[in-house]
Structure 1
């Protein structure tokens, strides 16, 4: 099924595909720039983005904000006019600072989840940056649409739906993950689209819908478009590309993984997460605890003395190549990766 280009305000995607934001350090300027250069939308993850900065441990916020500029500029050099933005989690400490930095740097869009971004329009006020909440259910879509309409007199520039087969932190309870299968979630997507259409009518404008989670093949992409969405969001397929910013050993962990190696893990931030089975994942699920070496203030409400392990430390270890003692977040179909590809090959295969 050949897909047309997608327009979001003054932005044009030659290929209707968004690259999912993967942190820490998996999707930086290299990957995002390559996706944007190929006609899609490249997303840089702002989560602890400054982990390579020399003052990351002592001045974490400043290091992260500085790295946001560096990575966006890198993506711009690669993409030369392509569409590049940020994925910024609501759950992050200093969320407003990260949003304002993205706006100041000239990002094309901000995608925001891990909580409902109720105040995102206020933090980005006066800018042309396109804003998109991430939702997983019709209920969460209804809440954010109603809130933005009432408080900010606006709707999202586009809306991202992340399904139960997505990677990393999931916007579902364990009970919901058990309930939603392929058939029931398709109906949920249709309900979300119907809710979006209500607000399209109220505000007399199109709100493009992007669907992600388990879209790893042309067949899955076609199924998504058949539901009526305007674009797809893909993350795991881009990990095993030459342009991905993660260490080669991280990528090889995907290629070596079997279906039974993809598992749900307990996250210290209070949400279930999907990751590749390794020593750390098994030990965490077995009840072991790993006291943080230091706190870098990544997530709101985190209590370092009580968490089983530090998500920042685990993700940094993984992206630097420690495939056994780091946390290897992934989507449900990550095990299907068989070889390294280029970003262009992935996009051509999917859309």
Structure 2
């Protein structure tokens, strides 16, 4: 396929792997890029020296384009951006912050910039800030979520109707059928997160991967709305948060309950009861762990078959 997304990133398929904390290391990014998609290293869980090591390892594992996702809410952002520029990473996805802050710096270094948003208003602000493309992420997504609670089915056509730059859809997309739906709504690419957690190359703990493939419909919920909304797999920690929120806990009390390194404990170290297990609703449709290259090919093949099937209905 050739469209604005494949040409922007110089990739074969308009399938982007999300830069998820504790899952998206260099092995996953390289595997997705080698398979024809765009692999992304998730810098949100990395110290600057760790990010540099992952970038260098990814360069050694693929000759294809790859990118880095940088959540702009972390204190090390300036150092992370500096390393990305020094290492000549070709593509950066920013999120959780103001794109005006770093887009000019990255663009001056010749880097393609994409920003992740959860509303049409922020999509337009990102376009005005000079980004090359936007990821619009619906409320089905795992991890940190939009306060607007707009679902992908509503968000994508709304953004597509007003945006001039290319649009990538995210949130609840883990199959070729979902990709076809996103394209029907106006997207030119998809960002896939949760499906790539359930791969051997993901750096998340095996216990977390098994919990993801075992999850059923209704096993995730959004919590911590007084802080930053986050979609979590239900466990003892989630139950404690829900109890506190139902009792009217203050933001400070919720911060104390969350503590430090709880996401690392859950997703990276495999503490399935006390850890923070960030995953999207689409986990209910993930039945097994399989290599990232197979995931990319299956999504593409199903997308092609779905679009042909829909086309045949018009004859």
User: What TM-score bracket applies, with the shorter chain setting the length?
Assistant: 0.7 to 0.9
Of the three residues 56, 60, 65, the one matched with 1:77 is 60
Matched-pair contact (CA < 8 Å) for 2:29–2:58:
yes
Q: Does 1:165 align with 2:152?
A: no
Residue aligning to 1:324: 273
From the superposition, tell whether residues 344 and 194 of structure 1 become closer, same or farther in structure 2 (CA, over 3 Å).
Answer: same
CA–CA distance in 2 between the matches of 1:304 and 1:28?
32
Q: What's the offset of the Cα at 1:122?
A: 3.3
CA–CA distance in 1 between the matches of 2:269 and 2:92?
26
* 1:231-271 deviation per Cα after TM superposition (whole angstroms, max 9, x unaligned): 10000000111111111111001012221211112167x22
Of the three residues 273, 281, 284, the one matched with 2:241 is 284
Q: What's the offset of the Cα at 1:329?
A: 0.3
Flag structure 2 segments of 5+ consecutive residues without an equivalent. Answer: 246-250, 301-315
From the superposition, tell whether residues 317 and 71 of structure 1 become closer, same or farther in structure 2 (CA, over 3 Å).
Answer: same
* 1:109-129 deviation per Cα after TM superposition (whole angstroms, max 9, x unaligned): 111111232211233253111
* 1:111-156 deviation per Cα after TM superposition (whole angstroms, max 9, x unaligned): 111123221123325311111111221111222323x2xxxxxx21
* Paired residue secondary structure (2:231): strand
Residue aligning to 1:204: none
Matched-pair contact (CA < 8 Å) for 2:134–2:168:
yes
Q: Does 1:193 align with 2:168?
A: no
Of the three residues 21, 29, 32, the one matched with 1:32 is 29
Residue aligning to 1:129: 111
CA–CA distance in 1 between the matches of 2:90 and 2:139?
27
Matched-pair contact (CA < 8 Å) for 2:223–2:232:
yes
CA–CA distance in 1 between the matches of 2:10 and 2:276?
35
* Paired residue secondary structure (2:288): coil
Q: What's the offset of the Cα at 1:191?
A: 3.0
Of the three residues 35, 43, 48, the one matched with 1:46 is 43
Give the number of the structure whose residues are more often helix, by fraction: 2
How many residue pairs get aligned? The number is 293
From the superposition, tell whether residues 96 and 242 of structure 1 become closer, same or farther in structure 2 (CA, over 3 Å).
Answer: same
Q: What's the offset of the Cα at 1:100?
A: 2.0
From the superposition, tell whether residues 285 and 211 of structure 1 become closer, same or farther in structure 2 (CA, over 3 Å).
Answer: same
CA–CA distance in 2 between the matches of 1:313 and 1:27?
17
CA–CA distance in 2 between the matches of 1:305 and 1:162?
29
TM-score relative to the length of structure 2? 0.86
CA–CA distance in 2 between the matches of 1:285 and 1:159?
33
Q: How does 1:87-106 map to 2 (within 5 A)?
A: 87-106=69-88
Aligned CA-pair RMSD: 2.1
* Paired residue secondary structure (2:44): coil
CA–CA distance in 2 between the matches of 1:335 and 1:325?
21
Q: How does 1:340-351 map to 2 (within 5 A)?
A: 340-351=289-300
Q: What's the offset of the Cα at 1:12?
A: 0.7
CA–CA distance in 1 between the matches of 2:152 and 2:101?
32
* 1:199-244 deviation per Cα after TM superposition (whole angstroms, max 9, x unaligned): xxxxxxxx32211110122211101112232110000000111111
Matched-pair contact (CA < 8 Å) for 2:117–2:135:
yes
Of the three residues 267, 274, 279, the one matched with 2:231 is 274
Q: How does 1:115-154 map to 2 (within 5 A)?
A: 115-124=97-106, 126-146=108-128, 148=129
Of the three residues 231, 242, 263, the one matched with 1:315 is 263
Q: How does 1:180-219 map to 2 (within 5 A)?
A: 180-181=150-151, 183=153, 185=154, 188-197=155-164, 207-219=165-177
Matched-pair contact (CA < 8 Å) for 1:167–1:273:
yes
* Paired residue secondary structure (1:27): coil
Residue aligning to 1:21: 19
Flag structure 1 segments of 5+ consecutive residues without an equivalent. Answer: 50-63, 149-154, 198-206, 289-302
Residue aligning to 1:55: none
